[in-house]
């Protein structure tokens, strides 16, 4: 089954390493540029109340939740540090025509 993509940002908005929160059909998604490469993952922590990760710290591929201190890998969503036990959802993305496109559904859905 083919997954549709949604334009979420212009490529120039993510021309340096860092993060940007965007929305895909109303769901918050975090774009992360690390070492010149783009990744997309859920913008909500998987621990308890789903804290907003945009205020967190991105150190290389490691994303730290500002509220709980959970640590995630933005490439895979994998939990690297507690208290979270569930990984972040990740999204396929592509850059085309100067725009960043994110899959309408997370990987595995």
Q: Give tens-digit pLDDT for 80-106.
A: 999 999 999 999 999 999 999 999 999
CB count within 10 Å of CB 106 equals 20
Residue 65 has pLDDT above 50, yes or no: yes
Domain that residue 13 falls in: 5-103
Q: What is the CATH number of the domain that holds 65?
A: 2.102.10.10
Give the model confidence (pLDDT) of 43-64 as tens digits: 999 998 889 999 999 999 999 9
CA distance 30 to 42: 6
> Is residue 109 assigned to a domain?
no
Tell whether 35 is covered by a domain.
yes
Asked whether residue 108 is domain-assigned, the answer is no
Give the contacts of 36 (CB within 8 A, at least 6 positions apart).
Answer: 17
Phi first, then psi: what are they for 13, rounded to 5°?
Answer: -70, -20
Overall number of domains in the chain: 1
Q: Is residue 14 part of a domain?
A: yes
Q: Is residue 95 a part of any domain in this protein?
A: yes
């Amino acid at each position: 089954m083919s997954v549709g993509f949604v334009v979420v940002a212009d490529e120039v908005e993510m021309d340096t390493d860092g993060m940007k929160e965007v929305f895909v059909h109303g769901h918050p998604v975090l774009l992360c540029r690390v070492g010149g490469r783009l990744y997309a993952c859920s913008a909500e922590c998987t621990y308890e109340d789903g804290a907003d990760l945009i205020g967190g710290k991105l150190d290389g591929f490691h994303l730290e939740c500002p509220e709980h201190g959970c640590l995630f890998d933005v490439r895979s969503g994998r939990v690297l540090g507690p208290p979270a036990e569930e990984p972040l959802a990740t999204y396929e993305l592509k850059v085309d025509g100067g725009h960043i496109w994110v899959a309408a559904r997370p990987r595995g859905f």
